[in-house]
Structure 1
Amino acid sequence: MESQCYPGGCQVVPIWKLVTMWPSEKEEEETVILISDDDDGEVQCPDDGGDEVQCPDDDDDDDESTQGSSVVFVEPQEKSPLEEPRSEEMVDEEGDLVVTYCKQANVMPHARHDCTTHPFERTESDICSPLGKNADICDQCYCYICDKLAAECQLWTVPSLCHCNAHNKSNFWKAQRSFALAGVLATFNLELLELDAELRHGGDLLEKFIKDLSVAYNKYLGGERMCPPGHECCCEPKLPPGQCDVCSSQKMEVVYKYSDVFELVTRFLNQAEQESPKAAAIMLLGAAKQIALHKDPAMLRNYQNVGHTDSLRIAVPFLFQRITVRLQRMLVLCDFPKILNQKFIEFFQSISLPCHCYAFSNSLNVLPWDHVLLTTVLKGQNITGQRRQKGRKMYLWEAFPVVEARVEKLLGKKKYKEVVRYLRAVKCNENQRLRDLRDLIPFYLCKTGHFLDAAHSLLFPVNSLACCSACRITPCQFSVYLKIFRTGCVPSGNDVLETGSWVTAGSPLRISVLIKQALKLLYNSEVLYRNAKCWSSFIMILASSCSLEKRGNVVPLSLEEPPLDFQENVLTATGNFLEDLKSGVNVSLPSSIFSGQLHQEASLILAVQAVQQMLCYDLPHLASFLEIILAFGKNFWALRLLLDQLSCAEHILCGTANLLLRDLSQEKATVLTVWQNLGPQYVGEFLCLFLTCRHKRMQSVGLFSLRLVIDNLHLCPWVKQLCTFFQESGLRRLPFGTTVYHEVSKFVSAFEKL
């Protein structure tokens, strides 16, 4: 074997590879070398009486030996008069010899300590002056530290540096070489082979930042001389503080403002967030180490700075909070190599934190994804997040940024079951923010198709110390959950309220289970119970199909009015059911009614009775009633049943009518748009329902709606069809008050003449 030296290290090359570098047969000064197949480590000359040249022994540990050298020469023998002509091929009788022609190889680039031309003396860390002839070089000598030609090294013989004494057998010089090649990255204990373009880029930016930060920090340490409060320079012209001789004679205060340093660090952190993950990690960790070294000279003078950016003791923890939160997320979200991940954590732990930053000591103790406790929780093998290790109880406890990042990572991979298991088991220092994440557990269960579990999780808390999610869901979320339970479809994204396509996740809940769970949610939350949107969603879902339109909207149904005796039976059977459910009793709907052919109609009748009970108790708290009216769609028989139920209490009926009139007057444009979409048949039945009501206050709702049409004829192109509907329905012949009769007759007559 023969070795060659290149900049930065040595490479051992088999001797057969050097054939391509040797001269052709026409050149002179060649020597014949016979290489034996035997493993005796000997190289023999072709003549029988030639001397033997021993190859270097790999086990030789002598510093002066050739082991570890970047160049090993086999000296050619002098030509013997007995040497056979080279044109003749030499072959051993047994056929185990090969004839090769060579001459002394050209000197390749090599480290100075491996030079064969000039001797080299080794010591561990002599930097005072060149040792022996270490300063002498040949044309191919390279500096071991700078990794460039020794002739170009500016520190070759500089006292206290002396790169000429560097060699690869000294830990001191190895560290110097690592720092020279890695720069500031050497402080991260990174191997040279681990440094890629991202890390080097981050190191370059960090080095520039350290220089700029040093200037700003030194300026901060100098402080600003200011006059005491209430004293100003009265000299003419006025001079800046500290430059006026008169003012200087007074006792002036020195103020230390950290704001310039704070702004510089903030700009650097902003830049780091735009870089690649590895570069950003280097920049953030380096910035943390630098600001941890900053001292507050104001404390020595018992001076209290004002403002969080002016005071070092306030600004530095603020910056540390930002740095650690960002690093915590990166350690979870970024797929750093395991060894690099560990070195980042070790670097942060090596930072000597000031007393005002002790709270961040364990900030980066982030569990790796393959930690045994974390993996057992994610796989469902540990549902409590607790385990015993050597008699000690361990908990799955993580900082909230880590929890948030883990959830984000798992959601990105669509691992909804793992998200649910993790959120139920993990503990955190910010309980309220963790609770907000846990409130989405029902939605993640819906994404997996477990709709009944999702409905139960809305009503039951994760632990005994928290309340259930039903107390905090919004009316919009309530509507989405009802839509999911009814259709078995979920939004394609990871947000409950995300607009977009819906996909099938499982089989929808049975209508009886859906009604029970929806009413439990309404009775459990006062906010939902008194919200008109929640009741309109409940009615709309029960009056819709279990399939969705292409746009993700429910498909409304027009149900035939069931027999009156059936309606009475449902009202009787569901009256006690609603009362028991409201009081917390676990009851079930009559299967004979809600499993039969008219189960859809029975569900709508139950909704009518639930709304009637709500109006009797919470009408003053209701913000709108028009939304509930529109939710019935074209099922006017159910709406008529509701009005009949309200007529039992006149004050409730009048209050409902007044609320509806207020809605119509405030939402004229919305009403006209809805009527335009639903058509003249719907408008005609809507007007007939209220105009023919026996209660005069409800008739006023119909009259107001009729005037709304007359006042906006340009927005009602279906007026003629509406007149035709009035004529066919015989509305003009109904004796329900002279006012209604005259208004309808006037409206119809006006358009009969057209």
Structure 2
Amino acid sequence: MQPLKAEENVTEILSSSDESECESLPGSPVVLVEPVETSVPEEKLEEVVDKEFDLVVTFCKKPDVLPHARYDCAAHPFTRTECETCSPVEKNDDICDHCYCYICDKLASECENWTVPSICHCNAHNKSKFWKNRREVFMAGILGIFNLHLTDIDADLWRGGDLLKKFIQELSVEYNNYLLGEVPPTQHECSCLPKLPPGQCNICGSRSTEVVYKYSGVFTLVTKFLNQAEKENPKATAVMFLGAAKEIALHKDPALNWQNFGYSSSLMVSVTCLLQRITTGLQRMLVLCNFPKTLHEKFIGFFRSIPLPCHCFVFSNSLNIVPWDNVLLTAVLRGRTASGRRRTRGRRPSLWEWIAVVEARVERLVENKKYKEIVHYLRAVKCNDIKGLRRLQDKIPFYLCKSGNFLDASHSLLVPVNNLTCCIACRLTASEYEAYLKMFRTGSVPDGDDVLHPGLWVVAGQPLREGALIKQALRMLHSSVSLYRNPKCWSTLIMILGSNKFLGKSGHLYPAPLREPSLDYQEEVLSASFNILEELKNNHHAAFRAYIFSPEFYQETSLIVAVQAIQQMVFCDLPYLTSFLEIVLAFGRNFWALKLLLNQLSHEETVLNGTVDLILRDLHGQKTTMLKLWQNLGPLYVGEFLCLFLTCRNPKMQSIALLSLNIITENLDMCPWAKHLCSFFQNTGLKDLPLDATGHLEVVKFMSLFDI
């Protein structure tokens, strides 16, 4: 637009008799007059004053005609109509050099649809709802297919529309190449049995005349486009996904017979796989992204309008996603209905969703730390993928722990979520078993969103009591054969019961040396717990009697019960054990409990021999590991460990200490604490004890290395 320029000549004020010859602007006090020539010198024409109009004119200009819409043209009259498109109304097709098309937003002389019948842009104006909608559709470009108004479109949508338009052009070329097909070579390879030389099989020869249609080029192009779309912002991604879905849904297979060339070369298989990826991505975005409600509805409406082929009808309702403010979903999240059903006008609709939607909802709830809502939702929702839903439901106990409800979490591990699955504990790994016991023992949880998250731990609630902890831990072991026969699980149980309730920020437990109860008390607990443990194997509702747990030895009692449970496990499943040394080491400095276990195993000679053989095998295979462990624990621990086995009357048991002593002797360079160990032997009087001849000789020989 050019700026207005002042003219040099002076304006003449017309008298009232000349008013008919001038034009006035409607609703304006300004009077337009024509410039006149004058011979008055310029310096004397600085201003002209008309007292009648009380108007001062200092200069005048010749107006320039600005670009304008056709309906605002002053040179040619315009007749307004609501939606006339058949032909130009009266003289609406007349234009000046500055008339613009209201629809195309370009010069009317360049508009290709100015007077085209059934279109007639010349009749368009801004007072008609029909023409306003036409303008919005045209201005929206490719985004017009989504029924988006200009007010709905932002930079992300424009970006998605531009990329989609370019993709459609490229896809059209690739799809046309697919429709042309490929002519197979004359010499074909026989695919029958038995295989004949090329050209001699009549069946394969008839097939060689058929044109081959391979969809792999289109599949590759669409896959590349979807990969690019996933890197864009959510709105752009949604536009690109929906546009791609509509294009590939319209593709047809021109082959007369079924041609199976593989995963990406078959149109039916490829389109199904691509639509699966597209719908899954859209389901996640509609749940995770906060699209405006109108945009959300238009995306869903557009997908419903896509004419899906018969082999893709399974995706027809894939975007029928329950919104977050749905009454039934809200009731489920708040725990008002545990079954996922809500009576509405005589009906009881259930909450059923696609697995991708369930995963997305859980992801968003986890992000907002709404763990109670996650538990309510996973217990109530139904899904098309039972295994996928079960994988999510297996984390219900963890979410309960995150919310601080450890007792409910321990019960949920042992109760099936529904009648179609077994309990969650039967699918736990040894590492997950250890993590849950840490949570129950300390009342702390990992700071991350996974049971085995390696980060920090934070306090979430009150831990379980000793009786509930040992009971639930043993029930979890009995629920899974793989856990019950895993030495790591038993060593975890012993380690947890022999540790403090305070957990380090990094998730490390601090061992707690427990006082040794009297032998009578130990025997009393062993006797009382034997029948309870037997009952617990067959009846999960068995409870530990209160009198077993003395207030004075509460934690020690749990450890004695665990010793009895290990004894029963070894007596029944010793052939299935792969290790026993880690169970022994798990007792830490609570050697009285370890001694109690060894005494219990000594009642059956075959069991004792098998257990010792396992320990000796572990010592032979893990010498380096044991040396590092002893270095960390120090000579006092090693001395007590060796004395425990050296003082046993059973020669088989003494062999464990003798092998350990030989390992230390052979690796003195890695045992700078060995001399302190000799001092320990000297102080305890081990050298003068009436040991077995071989054991006594080895101890004396070891101490002589340091002149003791």
TM-score scaled by structure 1?
Answer: 0.83
Alignment-derived partner of residue 230 in structure 2: 273
8 Å contact kept, 1:143–1:163: yes
Residue in structure 2 matched with residue 262 of structure 1 by the alignment: 219
- Of 580, 585, 589, which aligns to 1:625? 580
Counterpart in the other structure of 1:195 = 153
| 3-state DSSP of counterpart to 1:435 | helix
Q: Structure 1's 31 and 452: CA in aligned 2 closer, same or farther, altered over 3 A?
A: farther
Does the Cα contact within 8 Å between 2:178 and 2:215 map onto a contact in 1?
Answer: yes
Match of 2:547 among 578, 585, 592: 592
- C-alpha contact 2:500 2:509 (8 A) present in aligned 1: yes
State the secondary structure of the residue aligned to 1:661.
helix
Distance, in Å, in 1 between the alignment partners of 2:653 and 2:675 is 25
Aligned AA (1:398): E
Is structure 2 residue 517 aligned with structure 1 residue 559? no
Distance 1:177 1:462 in 2: 56
Say yes or no: does 1:382 pair with 2:340: no
Which residue in the other structure is 1:655 paired with?
Answer: 610
SS in 1 for 2:271: helix
Stretch moving more, 595-604 or 535-544: 595-604
Task: Pick the aligned partner of 1:293 from 241, 244, 250.
Answer: 250
8 Å contact kept, 1:117–1:138: no
| Counterpart secondary structure, 1:634 | coil
- The secondary structure found in structure 2 opposite 1:116 is coil
Q: 2:93 aligns with which of 123, 134, 144?
A: 134
Matched position secondary structure for 2:706: helix
Instruction: Find the counterpart in structure 2 of residue 364 from structure 1.
Output: 319
Q: Report the 3-state secondary structure (helix = DSSP H, G, I; strand = E; otherwise coil) of the residue aligned with 1:305.
A: coil
Match of 1:459 among 414, 418, 431: 414
Which of 513, 516, 520 in structure 1 is aligned with 2:475?
A: 520
Question: Which of 183, 186, 196 pairs up with 2:144?
Answer: 186
Aligned-pair CA distance for 1:365: 0.3
Residue range with higher mean Cα deviation, 210-219 or 719-728:
719-728
| Unmatched tracts of structure 1, length 5 or more | 1-5, 7-20, 33-44, 46-50, 56-71, 90-101, 233-247
Aligned partner of residue 637 in structure 1, secondary structure: helix
Give the CA deviation at 1:203.
0.3
AA aligned opposite 2:250: L
Amino acid at match of 1:136: I
Shift of 1:622: 1.3
Helix, strand or coil at the partner of 2:339: coil
Pairing partner for 1:167 from 119, 125, 141: 125
Amino acid at match of 2:180: G
For residues 211 and 537 of structure 2, the distance between their equivalents in structure 1, rounded to whole angstroms, comes to: 70
Q: 2:210 is matched with which residue?
A: 253
1:588 & 1:525 partners in 2: Cα distance?
A: 20
Q: Structure 1's 365 and 488: CA in aligned 2 closer, same or farther, altered over 3 A?
A: same
Structure 2 CA distance, aligned partners of 1:512 and 1:441?
23
Structure-2 separation of matches of 1:295 and 1:327? 24
Preserved CA contact (<8 Å) 2:6 2:62:
no
Closer, same or farther: CA 249–463 of 1 in aligned 2, 3 Å: closer
Question: Structure 1 pair 193/701, CA: closer, same or farther in 2 (3 Å)?
Answer: same
Residue 438 of structure 2, aligned match among 480, 483, 488 = 483
Q: Deviations over 1:575-618 (max 9, x none)?
A: 12211212216333232341411112111111111111110001
Residue 253 of structure 1: CA displacement? Answer: 2.4
CA distance 1:133–1:503, change in 2 (3 Å): closer
Compute the displacement of 1:120 (Å): 3.0
Return the offset for 1:475.
1.3
CA contact 2:188–2:208 (8 Å) conserved in 1: no
2:72 aligned residue (84, 102, 114)? 114
Deviation at 1:86, TM superposition (A): 4.5
Match of 2:291 in 1: 336
1:96-118 CA distances to partner (integer Å, 9 max, x unpaired)?
xxxxxx99997654311221222
Three-state SS of the structure 1 residue aligned to 2:551 is: coil
Q: Structure 1: how far apart are the matches of 2:276 and 2:177?
A: 25
Q: CA deviation at 1:717?
A: 1.4
User: Which stretch has the larger CA shift, 589-598 or 604-613?
Assistant: 589-598
State the 1:261 CA deviation: 0.4
1:680 aligned residue: 635
Q: Determine the C-alpha separation between the residues in 2 that align with 1:330 and 1:391.
A: 33
1:282 matched residue in structure 2: 239
Q: Does 1:213 align with 2:171?
A: yes
Give the Å deviation of 1:657.
0.6
Check 1:132–1:398 CA distance in 2 against 1; reply closer, same or farther (3 A cut).
Answer: same
Deviation at 1:549, TM superposition (A): 2.3
Flag structure 2 segments of 5+ consecutive residues without an equivalent. 17-21, 35-48, 191-204
Distance of 1:534 and 1:458 partners within structure 2? 16
1:83 to 1:365, Cα distance in 2 relative to 1, 3 A: same
Query: Secondary structure of 1:546's partner?
Result: strand
Pick one of 162, 187, 197 that aligns with 1:204.
Answer: 162
- Partner residue, 2:356: 401
Q: What's the offset of the Cα at 1:125? A: 5.4
Structure 2 counterpart of 1:40:
none
Is the 8 Å Cα contact of residues 184 and 208 (structure 2) preserved in structure 1? no
Q: What CA deviation, in whole Å up to 9, does each residue of 1:9-40 have, x standing for no partner?
A: xxxxxxxxxxxx9999x9857899xxxxxxxx
Change (3 A) 1:584 1:78: same
Partner Cα separation in structure 2 for residue 31 and residue 307 of structure 1? 90
Counterpart residue number, 1:644: 599
Matched, 1:546 2:513: no
Structure 1 CA distance for aligned equivalents of residues 410 and 279 of structure 2: 38
Q: Which amino acid aligns with 2:96?
A: I
Distance 1:336 1:22, change over 3 A: farther
Match of residue 608 from structure 1 = 563
1:552 and 1:623 map into 2 onto residues whose CA distance is 27
Partner of 1:12: none
| DSSP 3-state at the match of 1:177 | helix
Q: Is the 8 A contact 1:119 1:134 kept in 2?
A: no
Mapped pair 1:582 → 2:540: no
- TM-superposed CA distance for 1:662, in Å, is 1.2
Q: Distance in 2 between matches of 1:227 and 1:125?
A: 59
8 Å CA contact 2:104–2:111 kept in 1: the answer is yes
CA positional deviation for 1:145 = 2.1
1:387-407 CA-to-partner distances (Å, cap 9, x unmatched) read 222322201000000000000
Q: Pick closer, same or farther for the CA change 1:369–1:249 going to 2, 3 Å.
A: closer
Q: Deviations over 1:383-440 (max 9, x none)?
A: 2111222322201000000000000000000000100000011000111111111111
Please report the TM-score for the alignment, with normalisation by the length of structure 2. Answer: 0.88
Equivalent residue in structure 2 for 1:320, among 252, 270, 275: 275
Q: How many angstroms apart in 2 are the aligned matches of 1:31 and 1:692?
A: 134
CA distance in 1, matches of 2:266, 2:545: 70
Q: C-alpha displacement at 1:170, in angstroms?
A: 5.9
Deviations 1:528-579 (A, max 9, x none): 1111111111111111111112422111011222211111111122112211
Which whole-Å deviations, capped at 9, do the CAs of 1:435-466 have from their partners, x for residues lacking one?
11111111111111111111111111122232
> How far apart are the structure 1 equivalents of 2:282 and 2:228?
14
Alignment correspondent of 1:95? none
RMSD: 3.4
1:31–1:693 distance in 2 versus 1, CA, 3 Å: farther
The yes-or-no answer on 1:714 pairing with 2:669 is yes
Q: How far 1:523 sits from its partner (Å)? A: 1.4
Distance in 2 (CA, whole Å) between partners of 1:598 and 1:465 is 43
Q: Distance between the aligned counterparts of 2:109 and 2:527, measured in 1?
A: 105
- Which of 302, 308, 311 matches 2:263? 308
Matches within 5 A, 1:484-503: 484-503=439-458
